[in-house]
Homo-oligomer: A and B are copies of this chain.
Amino acid sequence: MDTLETRELKYFVTVAEELHFSRAAERLGIAQPPLSRAIQQLERRLGVRLLDRDRRGVTLTGAGQVLLDEARAILDSAEAAARRTRRAAASTNRLTLATKAGANHELLRKLLDAHAAEPDAAEIDVVLCGMGDQARMLRDGRADVAFMQRPFDALAGFDTEDVLTEQQVAVVPAAHPLAARTSLLMADLEDVPDLPVARWPRQDGTYEAGPGPEIHDLSQLAQLIALGHTMAVICASARSWLWGAHAAIPLTDSSPVTTVLAWPAHSRSRAVAALVRTAAQL
């Protein structure tokens, strides 16, 4: 049993996505017959039917669905491997840290300062990215470590080190009656007239249905709150980007949020290990 070639997997994924040989071949930049042959060869090698070619189009079999998921993961890893290898060659003792734009300023500053004080510390490139992009960058190989938050971010497949746990606060327009309160309960935020709570993306990037606006980045959120269009629940440290038009009120019964430093599981990079050690001592 010889091993699957990434070329074959790429072909298969494209066909599985298009469910159409000719279109898939076009996307791949090859002709349709070689593509048909490659898929047949893959099926023969596995001894498994991956696609049902019915006269009414192509559909995935159960096994094909399984292989589709696996193949996507493998292709991603292969690309990540190439990228990580190139980066390792280009820059020794240099790390890329990904973090959500706008959050954790203090924490980041503290970590960078503490790390710079270590002897032999790696240079750190900080990449600010959109919400939830950190996971992709880590998997991609475009970043070596990232700040992420539990329970919001998808941490499966990463090793993590807890750095900071904090309560959440409600941020409301300063002019709103709620701004006068000194503390709130989660229940107080439900069904406030004219002030729907903003909707954060879920781990898969989609949004729950609801009346509030969908949040893509924090400056957008700050703007919307200042305009009096919404309110939001954020973790306490993010207060740093609020201005006079906002009011932050502690939420006494909110679940705590833990900011973690995350890196690809099984990373053996000494530089990553050193940074994690520093973070653990904060």
Nearest CB on B from A10, distance (A): 7
CB contacts (< 8 Å) of A82 on chain B: these are 1, 3-4, 46
Known: A4-B6, A5-B6, A6-B5. A78 touches B89 (CB 8 A): no
Task: Check if A74 is an interface residue, CB within 8 A of chain B.
Answer: yes
Q: A5 to chain B: which residues have CB within 8 Å? A: 5-7
Cβ-based interface call for A129 (8 A): no
Q: Which of A62-70, A110-118, A179-187 contacts B (4 or more CB under 8 A)?
A: A62-70
Question: What sequence of 0s and 1s flags, for each residue 243-282 of chain A, a beta carbon within 8 Å of any chain B beta carbon?
Answer: 0000000000000000000000110110000000000000
Least CB distance, A119 to chain B, in whole angstroms: 20
Interface string of A78-95 (1 = CB under 8 A from B): 111110111011001000
A residues within 8 Å of B by Cβ?
1, 3-7, 10, 46-50, 61-63, 65-67, 69-71, 73-75, 77-82, 84-86, 88-89, 92, 156-159, 265-266, 268-269
A4 partner residues in chain B, CB cutoff 8 A: 6, 78, 81-82
Complex: how many Å from CA A49 to CA B3?
A: 25
Residues of B within 8 A of A50 (CB): 85
> Across the interface, do A69 and B268 meet the contact criterion of CB distance under 8 Å?
yes
B86 near A47 with CB under 8 A, answer yes
Q: How far is the CB of A149 from chain B (nearest CB, A)?
A: 18
Task: Give 7 new A-B contacts, CB below 8 A, not counting A61-B89, A62-B92, A65-B268.
Answer: A3-B7, A3-B82, A6-B6, A67-B81, A69-B266, A70-B85, A74-B77
A85 touches B73 (CB 8 A): no
Give the complex CA separation of A79 and B78 in angstroms: 14
Task: Closest B residue to A92 by CB, please name it.
Answer: B62
